[in-house]
């Protein structure tokens, strides 16, 4: 089992080993148990990437097509998914699986990713994880190459690491970007049960302050979060401190019993 500090060290080490030149991303191809839940026809570039129809994937729980189009005016139904290596959490319901998060990886340049994205003719480039915000300081490198009529998206958990306000300010200036802020628990117990990790609430709220103090186009998702007192307290705090409109596009995600979850969890 890997903890947050180990995960950050691992990624820093991998980044340091990247060859010099244009930005290289440590990408985990679609592999291992996660293939149990991926339509082989959705694999792209021999499984290095995949495509996804957000209207039908996972039974259609994702509201991203409507939210993304609402915020950008650009069609957002079909995603080109890049799976970045590593995650500081260990969610028991993780359909990416330890294979996809910590399995074999390859380095791919921003330019190469964009070429594959354009060829795929998808609407949205999704830098997924793992925990893609571990690479947040480099998001601008790929976002700058996304065509103006396409959308860039990625995910924040507020617990990956201390966010850099300068990095967020840089992302602020980039249009046609939509971010999901994934909340995976609102009490110590709920967070631990949903992620396998203890939460640092100080880090969580400091990062919350930084994104709220920005013009990032984001929405909240609540994964397996109980609709009770803790959620109400969270909603009240967000409304009071930042404005209720910040919650207007939020939605809940229930646990889906993916086939991958029925297989043993150890990395192969």
Sign of CA dihedral 239, 241, 247, 253: negative
Number of CB atoms found within 10 A of residue 51's CB? 19
Stretch that binds ligand SF4, among 94-102, 137-145, 225-233, 246-254 (CB under 6 A): 94-102
**At its nearest, how many Å lie between ligand SF4 and the CB of residue 48?**
18
Stretch that binds ligand SF4, among 84-92, 104-112, 134-142, 214-222 (CB under 6 A): 84-92
Select 87 or 146, whichever has its Cβ closest to ligand SF4. 87
Q: How many residues belong to the chain?
A: 268
Q: Please name the helix (run of DSSP H) or strand (run of DSSP E) that holds residue 44, with its range, or none.
A: strand 43-44
Q: Please name the helix (run of DSSP H) or strand (run of DSSP E) that holds residue 231, with its range, or none.
A: helix 229-242
State how far the Cα of 27 lies from the Cα of 140, in Å rounded to an integer: 17
State how far the Cα of 125 lies from the Cα of 144, in Å rounded to an integer: 12
| # binding residues, ligand SF4 (CB under 6 A) | 10
Q: Does 101 sit near ligand SF4 (CB under 6 A)? A: yes
Q: Does 131 sit near ligand SF4 (CB under 6 A)? A: yes
Select 68 or 130, whichever has its Cβ closest to ligand SF4. 130
Q: Does 4 sit near ligand SF4 (CB under 6 A)? A: no
Select 114 or 211, whichever has its Cβ closest to ligand SF4. 211
State how far the Cα of 169 lies from the Cα of 154, in Å rounded to an integer: 16
For 94, 229, 255, the CA distances from 226, given in Å and listed in that order, are 18, 9, 12
For 10, 82, 240, the CA distances from 234, given in Å and listed in that order, are 33, 31, 10
Sole binder of ligand SF4 in the list 27, 89, 125, 168 (CB under 6 A): 89
Sole binder of ligand SF4 in the list 84, 91, 127, 134 (CB under 6 A): 91
Show Cβ contacts of residue 71 under 8 Å, excluding neighbours closer than 6 positions.
178, 217
**At its nearest, how many Å lie between ligand SF4 and the CB of residue 105?**
14
Whose tokens are 């399995």? That residue is 103
Stretch that binds ligand SF4, among 4-12, 47-55, 123-131, 244-252 (CB under 6 A): 123-131
Q: Does 90 sit near ligand SF4 (CB under 6 A)? A: yes
Select 105 or 176, whichever has its Cβ closest to ligand SF4. 105
**At its nearest, how many Å lie between ligand SF4 and the CB of residue 157?**
6
Stretch that binds ligand SF4, among 33-41, 42-50, 82-90, 226-234 (CB under 6 A): 82-90
What the block records as the tokens of 103 is 């399995």
**At its nearest, how many Å lie between ligand SF4 and the CB of residue 83?**
9
Is residue 258 within 8 A of residue 37, CB to CB? The reply is yes
Give the end-to-end CA distance of the chain in Å, rounded to a whole number. 14
Q: Does 136 sit near ligand SF4 (CB under 6 A)? A: no
Q: Does 142 sit near ligand SF4 (CB under 6 A)? A: no
User: Which positions touch ligand SF4 (CB under 6 A)?
Assistant: 87, 89-91, 94, 96, 101, 129-131
């Amino acid at each position: 089992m890997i903890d947050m500090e180990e995960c950050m060290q691992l990624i820093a080490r991998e980044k340091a080993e990247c060859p010099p030149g244009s930005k290289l991303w440590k990408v985990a191809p679609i592999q291992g148990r996660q293939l149990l839940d991926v339509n082989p026809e959705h694999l792209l570039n021999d499984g290095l990437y995949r495509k996804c129809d957000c209207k039908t994937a996972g039974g259609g729980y994702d509201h991203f097509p409507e939210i993304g189009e609402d915020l950008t005016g650009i069609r957002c139904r079909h995603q080109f998914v890049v799976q970045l290596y590593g995650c500081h959490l260990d969610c028991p319901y993780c359909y990416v699986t330890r294979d996809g998060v910590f399995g074999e990886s390859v380095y791919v340049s921003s330019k190469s990713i964009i070429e594959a994205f354009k060829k795929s003719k998808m609407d949205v480039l999704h830098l997924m994880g793992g925990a893609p915000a571990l690479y947040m300081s480099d998001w601008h490198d790929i976002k700058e190459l996304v065509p103006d009529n396409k959308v860039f998206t990625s995910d924040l958990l507020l617990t990956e690491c201390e966010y850099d306000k300068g990095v967020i300010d840089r992302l602020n200036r980039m249009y046609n970007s939509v971010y999901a802020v994934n909340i995976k628990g609102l009490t110590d117990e709920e967070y631990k049960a949903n992620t396998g990790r203890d939460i640092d609430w100080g880090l969580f709220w400091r990062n919350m302050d930084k994104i709220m103090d920005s013009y990032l186009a984001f929405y909240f998702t609540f994964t397996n979060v109980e609709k009770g007192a803790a959620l109400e307290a969270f909603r009240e705090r967000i409304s009071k401190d930042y404005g209720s409109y910040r919650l207007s596009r939020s939605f809940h995600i229930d646990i889906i019993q993916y086939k991958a979850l029925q297989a043993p969890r150890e990395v192969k």
